[in-house]
Chains A and B, each alone.
Chain A
């Protein structure tokens, strides 16, 4: 079975502070990991995926297979980063795309 765990429901930081949103996964094969973001009154959209190894809007995420983690980081949070963030896992051959429960990030001025 595949599972995604986001331990923090809520995360509040001040503008300019570093932010880390945690994601742990459980999967027996080689997963594909994603971070999706949902801004207020907008559709869910892809933020980044581990296979592309890119930085989007200053966010990065590193896949740690030993710790089965895919934490999302940004060195200096901005108010416009306030949103719901979802970590997601695709198991590849079984076609499932499984999401965590999400973390609501609030960046205070």
Chain B
């Protein structure tokens, strides 16, 4: 498996609290992505990064922010968690936009 880990793997949090999910890679890949997976919606892109401090929004970015201060880490922050953000979050990495993306094992987040 590619060197990509997500933490935490599971989290339960209360509505209104901030939450940060971490994606860590050891592959030195340039591109990193955050997705959420929901039944009936598939994988939806939240934010992505194409280099250190270079990030852009995906299709469902409202309520989320990201940071990438170094190549290996891509952080996803829910500024004020809501129940609609209960989901499974996946991080992915790739060398380029034309090559295979490798996925983390996912983080199951529950907002109560």
Contacts and interface: CB of A to CB of B under 8 A. Distances in A.
B45 interface: yes
B100 A49 contact: yes
Interface residues of A, number: 26
B90 A96 contact: no
Contacts of A94: 97
Interface residues of B, number: 26
Interface string B28-68: 00010101000011111100101000001011000000000
Interface in A1-45: 6, 9, 32, 34, 36, 43-45
A43 B40 contact: no
B92 interface: yes
A101 B100 CA distance: 19
Given A32-B98, A43-B103, A96 B48 contact: yes
A100 B48 CA distance: 17
A50 B43 CA distance: 20
Contacts of A90: 97-98
Contacts of B100: 34, 46, 49
A78 B56 CA distance: 40
A92 B94 CA distance: 12
B75 to A, nearest CB: 18
Given A91-B97, A95-B97, A100-B42, A43 B105 contact: yes
Which of A34, A45, A86, A97 counts the most chain B CB atoms within 10 A? Answer: A97
B42 A102 contact: yes
B45 A86 contact: no
Interface of A: 6, 9, 32, 34, 36, 43-46, 49, 51, 86, 88, 90-102
Interface of B: 1, 31, 33, 35, 40-45, 48, 50, 56, 58-59, 90, 92, 94, 97-98, 100-101, 103-106
